[in-house]
A and B are shown apart, each in its own frame.
Chain A
Amino acid sequence: MADLLRETVRAAAEDGADWRALGEQLGVLGLAVPERWGGSGAGLGEAAVVAEELGAVLASVPFVSTVVAARLLVESGDDAACADLLPGLCDGSRTFAVASLPTGVDRPAGTAEGVVDGPGATDLLVLAGDGLFHVDGAAAEVVPVPTLDLTRPQADITFAETPARRLGPAAPATDVAVTLLAAELVGVARTMLDTAVTYARERVQFGRPIGSFQAVKHRCADMLVELELARSVAEHAARTHDHGGDDPALASSLAHVVATDAARRVTGDAIQVLGGVGITWEHPAHRYYKRAVTSAALWGGRAHRDRLAKLAIDGNDGRSSHAG
């Protein structure tokens, strides 16, 4: 099942399938949505496979936000809202972004900064105080924010007397988001390792392929190590969310810490192996590097390091801590 899903999504992603095709034709947007609302009732493990393949081609689609939004909607317990919104989420006719407002605000008001996938979202889910709200994307003031990453848009979103519907209590969205982010970064690193290795086999200097020189081949071996470690923590986090066996908070923060470090290192090293070609605008390597660097700051960023320490290293009761 997972292999078939992977092959299908890989073929579609490499062909540049658009958002509606992912929803309507492949049905992968609602993988983790119950069947009665238009989904296929699978788990985060399946969604992570999709995230990896979309990361591998650096698809500029709001997949992570969509899966997080679906999870928030389902867990809100608001069946009417689910029936309203989830079928459109699954077929791709709606696009979602999830905005978190600073503490002290108990309804959509003020500005949420750097909302991932905010530009163009038809629907916004807003975490404010102890509540989860739905806001029509067109009703809020959405100002795109340029970032290092050219492939995942962000926006500052301002709510001023904006109509909002309360769906239920606020639920943590971070762990699901970073689990998918880690899978996506595995795809990002995988493509850049493949690119670097292919280049090192073909590029000839001093009369030999540069991949025969230890300075280059050992760097590639280190990139492989990083990718393998990242894949292990990413799969573990998704498996933990679906089937238990570990603390989901710990597994999620572990995935963030390891996968973001790995992706930044592998994409940066790929540029080095590519040499002059790697620092041109024309070659895609910089886009992967920028995706990796920017992703590391999202959904908690370095706060996951502190959280991992509290959960697994400090050895006291750090379990009430939250990242991001």
Chain B
Amino acid sequence: MTEHLVVDAARRLVAEHPPASTPTEEFLGARFDAGLAWVHFPRGLGGLGVAPGLQGAADAVVEAAGGPNPFDLNPMGYGMAAPTVLAHGSPALHERLLRPLYTCEEIWCQLFSEPGAGSDLAGLATRAVRDGDGWRATGQKVWTSKAHEARWALLLARTDPDVPKHKGLTYFVLDMRDPGVEVRPLRQLTGDAEFNEVWLRDARLDDAWRLGDVGAGWKVAMTTLMNERTAIGGGSIERGSGSIGDALALWRSQPDPGLRDRIVTLFARADALRLTGMRHAAERGDGPAGPMGSLGKLVGAELNQAVYELCVDLLGTAGTRHPGYDGDPATHDTLTWKFLRSRANTIEGGTAEVLRGILAERVLGLPGDIRVDKDTPWREVPRG
């Protein structure tokens, strides 16, 4: 199928279901049924079975018509759960899960990180044990966005503690309505609670809702994480947009000759990053997201911090005035809130250190870190 057929289908969609007068769920449902949700998925599952590079053509038509973006409403579902469920779930799960995920009637969250397993995700301790024809999960997860409104969760749990850490993990879809699930908001240094802690106490898992084989959870999780980093590192294509745009606007209203060299350096770096994102996307074509995707995320995160540090310096004493820490969304437009929020950028979605390791090992081919736990049964690895 060629691009114009995708474009024609998208035009038909927005003509028959005008976004302005169609409820979000209904519009997204129609888009799913038209095969324009993710065009590279099979027909009947929101796709047309065509090259993923054609997605942009459909997105452009819908965006121009003012259609809703499911990524904004259901980021974990759209960005991570959908590709993982498609790649590793049964046909019955495809039928049950993908459409309401896309229409955002069912929000998703991701239960990966734990207090004792951040960068070393494979060392996680949440246990899932057999219970009749299903499983029971017990443990504590953290940094879970959308947990309080999620219908389903992507859960990575340890099913065999007697083998090395990567080999004893299994991947499940968890029903967040299970009575064994407790969600508590986690307040960050901004004062907001974007994330949650989630406690599992004998939460019930259906074996038919397992994604991939028992013990193959790490491989399945890689599908999810590769899609996460590409989603975060995607970058904008408009010069002077994003964080550097905030600095430019501030600079134009109150320039400071003493800080000029810094804004030149940051502007140049932001524009070089923008051009790099476009270049890498063109070079990748329809190919899969590779380790080079970590570069955009790494540079963008550190750039955000430097840009908002500059903004605070430009503001002088006014740069320390802050409306409050009560989590009011109105504060999110302030430079001080963005300044504080940027501290998380080099930690969330892969720390800067982990990303440098990926670039060094997987792009440059440097040897791996010293790993003392690689061949040791998980049960015997020290944890703290």
Contacts and interface: CB of A to CB of B under 8 A. Distances in A.
Contact of B275 (A200, A208, A236, A308): A236
Contacts of B357: 214, 217-218, 221
Nearest to B368: A212
Contact of A308 (B252, B267, B353, B370): B267
A157 interface: no
Nearest to B260: A309
Interface stretch (B37-45, B62-70, B121-129, B359-367): B359-367
B273 interface: yes
Contact of A218 (B269, B273, B360): B360
Contact of B370 (A193, A212, A216, A235): A212
**6 interchain residue pairs of minimum CB distance:** A217-B360, A211-B366, A232-B275, A221-B356, A229-B272, A212-B367
Interface string A291-324: 0000000000000011011001111000000000
18 contacts: A193-B364, A197-B365, A201-B367, A211-B366, A212-B370, A214-B353, A214-B356, A214-B369, A218-B353, A218-B357, A228-B276, A229-B269, A229-B276, A231-B276, A235-B279, A305-B264, A313-B248, A313-B263
A217 B269 contact: no
Interface string A220-235: 1110110011111101
Nearest to B263: A313
Interface in A179-206: 193, 197, 200-201
A254 interface: yes
Interface string B341-384: 00000000000010111011101111111100000000000000
Contacts of A257: 264-265, 268
B contact patch SS: helix
Taking residues whose C-beta sits less than 8 angstroms from the other chain, chain B's interface range is 35 or more
A293 B23 CA distance: 60
Nearest to A305: B264
Interface core residue of A208, A218, A313 (most chain B CB under 10 Å):
A313
Interface of A: 193, 197, 200-201, 208-209, 211-212, 214, 216-218, 220-222, 224-225, 228-233, 235-236, 254, 257-258, 261, 305-306, 308-309, 312-315
Given A224-B359, A232-B278, 12 more contacts: A209-B367, A212-B367, A212-B370, A218-B356, A218-B357, A231-B279, A233-B271, A236-B275, A258-B269, A261-B268, A305-B264, A308-B264
A221 B272 contact: no
B314 interface: no
A222 B356 contact: yes
B306 interface: no
Contact of B366 (A201, A232, A235, A236): A201
A195 to B, nearest CB: 12
Interface in B239-277: 239-240, 248, 251-252, 255, 260-261, 263-265, 267-269, 271-273, 275-276
Contacts of A212: 366-370
B298 interface: yes
A114 to B, nearest CB: 24
A235 B248 CA distance: 25
Nearest to B273: A229
A201 B365 contact: yes
B272 A224 contact: no
Contact of B363 (A222, A224, A258, A306): A224
A254 B361 contact: no
B252 A314 contact: yes
A313 B369 contact: no
B264 to A, nearest CB: 5
